[in-house]
Amino acid sequence: MAVEAIGRVPRSPGPLGRLGARILDVLQVLGEAASLFMAAARATAFAPIDRQRVIVQLARVGTDTLPIGALLSVFVGMVLVVQAADQLRDVNESVLGPIVGLAMTKELGPVMMAFLLAGRTGSAMAAELGSMTVYDEINALRTMDIDPVRFLVMPRFVAATLSLPLLILYSDFIGVWGGALVVALDPAIKLTVNEYFARMLEWVHLSDIIIGLVKGVVFGMIASIVPCTFGLRTRGGTEGIATATTAAVVWSFILILVFDFMIVRGSFATA
Amino acid sequence: MGAGSRETPRRGVAVELQGVRRSYNGFEVLRGVDLTVKAGELLAIVGQSGTGKSVLLRQIIGLERPDAGRIAVGGLELPRYLAMPPDEKPFRIAMVFQNAALLGSLTVAENVSLRLREQQRLPAAEIEEITRRVLDDVELEGTEDKLPSDLSGGMRKRVAIARALAIEPEVILYDEPTADLDPILTLQIAELIKRIRASRGSTQMIVTHNLPLARAIADEIAVLDRGRIVECSTPAELVQSSQPLTREFLRAAALGT
């Protein structure tokens, strides 16, 4: 295409110029992501009509994340117990249940599953939409009066936002059972599995689970909108697709952590 | 060499461009394009790579907005046409992209019927019938269930043309329809475009750097040079041209390059 033949006029900005350009780039990405979020949120009105496309994306999220999510969760639960038990052996092992329960429901489950979703499904979204952008498929949709946001972004947005809270519950469940496995099998731990769960249930409240689910909704939005934003702004062929995919994952991770902090801060402020 | 237009059904609508300008990063690609395509006419736009041929088509289909100038299709200002709800548009414009731009996850039939299915105005059986008919028109019957990745480059181009035909457009824009195709496939696409002209009478604009193709199928040929139309004439008149770029094109075509 002719546009590709037009080279930018080579310039060599100084450090301040480069910093300014970088800040402008960041603001532009955030603006595009916010704008896409609004458009996708509006397009969710069509989700019942387009349910087939939403179901396809839900199935894709499940296939991408369930097996590896289980593996991650069980090992994180096990490692938590091993490490905490070592520290608490001479103090009080009965807090192992609350430690694993609270860590999994409030922090590790949500962040771990969000990273998994952004890393696996999100990167695939960025690469797929990036390829469609580069090879004019998105433009072809536009020329057919088909809204790419409704057709492509909304099903991914709905699927990620609905599925991440469920994935978090799945991760919490497997994580605490991973911990229980170590409690049951490690002869150095004197705590029984019944005591582990009893103490956990004393300490983990419904509000803790709800905070995890709220994070799931927010992180699900981030893990879909950010990759779609980068996919739709891809330029420059195969190399551009690779760059967009990497950037989508990095930006998703950063924004998940930023929003994680904000939600935690907000939950303590209101408590 | 141009295809005759007397007995062609006049389905197409006119396309007018006046003083169309478009810049990218301070570089002016289109520098005041004036062009008129009559209803039902087949116009080829030829020019060297990077002269703004594809950019011009993107302004006409509304993928990009010109910085200055006006574009009217069927007597309607383009911004007004683009702002209309799809169901209320008085005519349709379709574009065949250079790389076909088929959706890789959809089958041939799903690609061809995509717009009709999304509009949800026709019953499924009728959409199926239209899909079958346009695939027959491009001689791709039996490929309905194949994926684009299973097709050759020429077949993908023909599916893209079938996708355009499925909505019965009054204007069809082709961006380098024979790029990367061998001479036999180029001939097949050229014959197909001529057949569309004869059977449907849509206005067609073809961007190409293949001058022999343009001479074989077009009513008029416009030569685009550095963002301006420097010549617009019939294929017969073009051969007599004294315009330097046109002469260069003719010389290159004679050498078979």
Tens-place pLDDT, residues B78-131: 999 999 998 899 999 999 999 999 999 999 999 999 999 998 889 999 999 999
Contact A145 B115 (CB under 8 A): yes
pLDDT score at B155: 92
Percent of chain B with pLDDT over 70: 95
Percent of chain B with pLDDT over 90: 67
pLDDT score at B255: 67
B2 pLDDT band, cuts 50/70/90, is very low
For chain B, the average pLDDT equals 89
For chain A, the average pLDDT equals 92
A75 or B9, greater pLDDT: A75
Among the residue ranges A165-174, A196-205, B68-77, B182-191, the one predicted with the least confidence is B182-191
Rounded to 5 degrees, what are φ and ψ at B254? -65, -30
Contact A9 B25 (CB under 8 A): yes
Contact B27 A6 (CB under 8 A): yes
Per CB-CB distance under 8 Å, the chain A contacts of B98 are 1, 136
pLDDT at B184 over 70: yes
Q: List, for residues B3-52, the tens digit of each pLDDT value.
A: 444 444 556 788 999 999 999 988 999 999 999 999 999 999 998 888 89
What is the b/e burial string over A210-233, where b = at least 16 CB atoms within 10 angstroms of the residue's CB?
A: ebbbebbebbbbbbbbbbbbbbbb
pLDDT score at A271: 63
Average pLDDT over residues A158-184: 96
pLDDT at A43 over 80: yes
Can you tell me the distance from the alpha carbon of A102 to that of A205, in angstroms, rounded to the nearest whole number?
9
**Tokens 């952008």 belong to residue:** A133
pLDDT at A269 over 80: no
pLDDT score at A211: 94
pLDDT score at B5: 42
B120: nearest CA in chain A?
Answer: A49
- Strands (E) across A3-148 are located at none
Mutation target among A3, A46, A151 for the B interface, most CBs of B within 10 A: A3
pLDDT at B257 over 60: no
Q: Does A147 touch chain B (CB under 8 A)?
A: no
Can you tell me the distance from the alpha carbon of A199 to that of A194, in angstroms, rounded to the nearest whole number?
9
pLDDT at A257 over 60: yes
Mutation target among A1, A129, A141 for the B interface, most CBs of B within 10 A: A1
Can you tell me the distance from the alpha carbon of B217 to that of B178, in angstroms, rounded to the nearest whole number?
13
Per CB-CB distance under 8 Å, the chain B contacts of A2 are 29, 49-55
What burial class does residue B28 get, using C-beta atoms within 10 Å of its C-beta: 0-12 exposed, 13-18 middle, 19+ buried? middle
What burial class does residue A108 get, using C-beta atoms within 10 Å of its C-beta: 0-12 exposed, 13-18 middle, 19+ buried? buried
pLDDT score at A3: 45
